[in-house]
Chains A and B, each alone.
Chain A
Amino acid sequence: MKRMVEFIVNGEAREMAVDGCRSLLDALRDDVGLTGTKKGCDVGDCGACTVLVDGEPVNACLMLAVEAEGRSVETVEGLQPGVDRLHPLQDAFMRHGASQCGFCTPGILMMAKKLLDDNPSPTDEEIRFGLSGNICRCTGYTKIFDAIKSAAREMEAARP
């Protein structure tokens, strides 16, 4: 039996009819057409599917689409502040080569955004703790941490 779900994705109101057993991840990718959010494991281990729900990071694979009713969901597609403009994190990831195959990148960007929103200048330890649910099998993490620290400095400098 399908249910109607009304929710907000990246600031835009949406409506969709979904099966009760459909994950938010599958709904975002296949029903809404936002394929930026990735499916790595489908069981909460890798963090590739990380999105923010009412501002809090969750694994979209471990949430049902019907639970998004009335909530606001942010995905990597909503990270850009405007057309042709990148979020400082996206810019820093490109400059530092923090993305190789790129599969982990959307999840890490969303997690890093939340981390910097809460804590504008995190220590190395805080970054590691914050990203412990995001697995990258390519980069060895060093460039990811460098990019996050660099973006943190730029965001701090840009603050009035």
Chain B
Amino acid sequence: MRRFDYYRAETLEHASRLLTELGDDTFLFNGGTDLLVEIRERLRRVRNVVDIKQIPGLSDITYDETRGLTFGALVTVGRLENLSLVRQQYPNLRAALASLGSIQVRNRATVVGNICRASPSADTIPPLVADGAFVHIYSRTDMRVVPIAEFFTGPGKTVLAKGEIVTGITVPPAADNIGKAYLKHGRRKAMELSTVGVAVSLAMDEGVCSDVRIALGAVGATVLRAPQAEAMLRGSRLDAATVRKAADKAMEECTPISNVRASADYRRDMVGVLTGRAIRQALETFA
């Protein structure tokens, strides 16, 4: 294994200072499920890791009817997955959490680490984008809040500047008129990265779709929205013909590549299938 030095940060300020002072090739160490794999497989040069798990105040989970669900940077995938609140109010996020790696991995991996790694196939990103989540970012001069759709700038790239740390994520509250789904498609059922992941969150008012967000994973440089497909659905009764047309539009809006997991054509076809299916599943909430 490649050698690196280990630092344990006591506070956010301390972690941020270490990130800037230790120089290049210094990374925050959270659950380590991406970082340690990338070090072992020589995908990333790492000289120093800064463990943030002893920093107080980053492990909380709170829910509030106006703000929604807020969880800290250290909250593991497994902890959120097993929360009945998440099961009931965020079935889309819950589906993504339960599909991520194994129980052993989920006991260590964090949702914040999953978004900070910014993989186009990361499972927690599509449901968070479809729900319009916000990312809380600390820097030594101020705090800022960024809509998650604006957090990613490319594969593995985010808006985080040197020394900035994500402290948590807020997901807006669920409501009786909102239906949600996340569908992950891979070559096998478990221990699999997404070939395509589709999240849909939609609001229905008197049988008419008043709002909808579609988020497509693993078919672009970042998780994508499908704005034209969304526009076709908004204001409609989500009848079968409209849903099919919107799913076709989502196929046009994605920009997949071919890699070891699937060809671009196959991915595009699956976006069509899964978008239709996810809309129908989100509607089942009201059945």
Contact = CB atoms under 8 A, between A and B. Distances in A.
A133 interface: yes
Contacts of A56: 78, 107
Contact of B33 (A20, A57, A62): A62
B66 interface: no
**Is chain B's binding surface mostly helix, strand, loop or mixed?**
loop
A89 interface: no
Given A44-B37, A132-B190, A21 B5 contact: yes
Interface in B235-286: none
B6 A21 contact: yes
A63 B108 contact: yes
13 contacts: A44-B104, A57-B104, A61-B36, A63-B108, A64-B6, A64-B51, A67-B51, A129-B190, A132-B103, A132-B189, A133-B104, A133-B105, A134-B102
B103 A44 contact: no
A45 B103 CA distance: 11
A157 interface: no
Contact of A130 (B32, B33, B103): B103
Interface in A6-26: 19-21, 23, 26
Contacts of B191: 45, 132-133, 135
Most buried by A among B7, B36, B103: B103
B5 A47 contact: no
B163 interface: no
The 7 closest A-B pairs by CB, nearest first: A133-B102, A20-B6, A132-B190, A59-B104, A43-B37, A21-B4, A133-B104
Interface string B28-41: 00011100110011
A66 B54 CA distance: 12
Nearest to B78: A56
Interface in A63-101: 63-64, 66-67
Most buried by B among A21, A57, A66, A111: A21
Contacts of A62: 31-33, 36-37, 104-105, 108
A132 B78 CA distance: 14
A26 B191 CA distance: 24
Contacts of B53: 67
Contacts of B101: 44, 133
B182 to A, nearest CB: 18
Interface of B: 1-8, 31-33, 36-37, 40-41, 49, 51, 53, 78, 101-105, 107-108, 189-191
A158 interface: no
Contact of B41 (A19, A20, A43, A134): A43
B122 to A, nearest CB: 15
A23 B6 CA distance: 12
A67 B40 CA distance: 18
Contacts of A3: 6
A58 B5 contact: no
Contact of B108 (A19, A23, A43, A59): A59
Most buried by B among A26, A59, A111: A59
A121 to B, nearest CB: 18
A57 B51 contact: no
A21 B1 contact: yes
A132 B102 contact: yes
Nearest to B4: A21
A26 B104 CA distance: 18
A111 B105 CA distance: 12
Given A43-B37, A43-B40, A67-B51, A50 B104 contact: yes
Contacts of A134: 102
A58 B108 contact: yes
Given A58-B108, A133-B191, A20 B5 contact: yes
B3 A21 contact: yes
Contacts of A64: 6, 32, 36, 51
Contacts of B190: 129, 132-133
A59 B3 contact: no
Nearest to A51: B104
A5 to B, nearest CB: 11
